[in-house]
């Protein structure tokens, strides 16, 4: 690994435990200037999507959208002479920003399905794996990690009862929620559901009820990002439903490192499940990351995310083969591929550690 690459990561990780908990964090220097991605023209059937910045390790172009063809591979119904059925055409699925920028064309030794990946040793700051780590992309519900950190460090009363209002209903993506308008939960319960189950209404309610309101909360999110040296990061709301919440893998690794230092965020993000009472009903919520229940994993912090513009995303702090690692996976192509990518990295690190141990043993014997 290049010394310069390791030095940049190390600089971003130079955060004292006291400053991490108080929020008064500062970094020297900023990340290298990135090249801008050329504007991409999307299909007339959907809005254009663009990546904010290009990866510094490769020059890539956004792939052109393929036209929908009739037949098994297409999603169009063609009229036939025998049965005069009116033709119906469907727009192709919206591509993620990473797909439009051609980031999936960049290969890596592990054949990861995520177009962006970064694996860093939390203690030595050594970069073990890097793929498009400068690319700035939508981060979906990874946003909630910053939301949770702000709420935890604000020292607001966790037993205060908050009410879901119409303002918390998703008008960005039209996503559903089991928390109905009028539902009441404590702030601690809202935080638990936001970090563990990625509950959007709970996350929005946390920001809305912050001192000064939602605008003040979003401002604080961006102030915190700036203090942490996250130069590629921007937040516009607390849930991640907006594709304008964007960051890079390098910035997110810094956030994971700091959030891992917060005991409450660490505990709630890795909680396997939680029940909340809503009148006569009891709602069972589960962690969106099934790896937290796996005996093969020792996870200290995690957060998942998904919107179509961001693809499947995952950040984790985990101990693998005796090493504390920070893993970032963005824009993964399939529903379960982000978890499969994490498994690939775990096996790779374990095999490398095993090979190193065998080599050391041979040297001692020799």
Question: Nearest CA to 80 among 93, 91, 71?
Answer: 71
- CB neighbour burial string for 238-276, b if at least 16 within 10 angstroms, e if fewer: bbbbbbebbbbbbbbbbbbbbbbbbebbbebbbbeebeb
Instruction: For residue 335, indicate whether it is catalytic.
Output: no
- Residue whose entry in the numeric block shows the structure tokens 């709301």: 237
CA pseudo-torsion sign 325, 326, 332, 338: positive
Catalytic residue among 53, 144, 224, 303: 144
Q: What span, in angstroms and rounded, lies between the C-alpha atoms of 314 and 319? A: 16
Instruction: For residue 234, indicate whether it is catalytic.
Output: no
Largest CA distance in the chain: 82
The three state secondary structure string of 156-214 is CCCCCEEECCHHHCCCCCCCCCCCCCCCEEEHHHHHHHHHHHCCHHHHHHHHHCCCCCH
Query: What distance, in Å, lies between the first and last C-alpha atoms of the chain?
Result: 28
Catalytic residue among 198, 242, 247, 248: 198
CB 54 within 8 A of CB 101: yes
Question: Nearest CA to 283 among 145, 364, 179, 144?
Answer: 179
161 backbone dihedrals φ, ψ, rounded to 5°: -85, 130
Burial (Cβ within 10 Å: 0-12, 13-18, ≥19) of residue 123:
exposed
Instruction: For residue 144, indicate whether it is catalytic.
Output: yes
- With vertex at residue 192, the alpha carbon angle to CA 185 and CA 237, rounded to the nearest 5 degrees, is 90
Q: What span, in angstroms and rounded, lies between the C-alpha atoms of 112 and 119? A: 12
Q: What span, in angstroms and rounded, lies between the C-alpha atoms of 246 and 134? A: 12
Catalytic residue among 52, 115, 130, 141: 141
For every residue of 231-254, DSSP letters joined together read TT-B-SSSSS-STT-EE-HHHHHH
- Give the active site residues: 141, 144, 198
């Amino acid at each position: 690994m290049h010394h310069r690459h390791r030095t940049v990561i190390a600089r971003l990780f130079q955060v004292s435990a006291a400053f991490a908990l108080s929020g008064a964090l500062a970094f020297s220097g900023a990340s290298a200037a990135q090249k801008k991605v050329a504007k991409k023209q999307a299909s007339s059937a959907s809005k254009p999507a663009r990546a904010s910045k290009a990866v510094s390790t490769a020059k890539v172009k956004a792939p052109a959208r393929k036209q929908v063809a009739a037949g098994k591979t297409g999603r169009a119904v063609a009229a036939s002479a025998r049965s005069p059925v009116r033709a119906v055409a469907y727009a192709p699925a919206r591509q993620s920003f990473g797909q439009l920028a051609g980031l999936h064309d960049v290969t890596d030794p592990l054949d990861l399905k995520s177009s962006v990946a970064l694996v860093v040793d939390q203690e030595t700051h050594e970069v073990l794996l890097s793929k498009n780590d400068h690319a700035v992309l939508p981060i979906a519900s990874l946003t909630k990690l910053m939301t949770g950190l702000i709420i935890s460090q604000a020292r607001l009363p966790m037993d205060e009862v908050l009410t879901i209002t119409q303002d918390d209903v998703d008008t960005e993506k039209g996503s559903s929620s089991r928390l109905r308008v009028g539902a009441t939960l404590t702030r601690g319960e809202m935080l638990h559901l936001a970090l563990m189950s990625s509950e959007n209404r709970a996350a929005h309610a946390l920001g809305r009820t912050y001192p000064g309101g939602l605008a003040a909360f979003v401002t604080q999110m961006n102030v915190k990002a700036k203090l942490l040296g996250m130069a590629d990061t921007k937040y516009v709301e607390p849930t991640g439903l907006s594709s304008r919440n964007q960051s890079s893998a390098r910035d997110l690794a810094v956030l994971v490192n700091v959030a891992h230092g917060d005991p409450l965020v660490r505990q709630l993000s890795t909680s396997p499940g939680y029940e909340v009472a809503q009148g006569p009903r009891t709602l069972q919520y589960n962690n969106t990351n099934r790896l937290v229940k796996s005996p093969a994993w020792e996870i200290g912090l995690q957060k998942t995310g998904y919107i179509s513009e961001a693809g499947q995303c995952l950040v984790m702090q985990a101990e693998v083969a005796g090493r504390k690692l920070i893993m970032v996976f963005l824009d993964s192509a399939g529903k379960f591929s982000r978890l499969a990518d994490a498994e690939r990295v775990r096996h790779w690190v374990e095999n490398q550690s095993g090979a190193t141990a065998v080599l050391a043993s041979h040297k001692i014997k020799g």
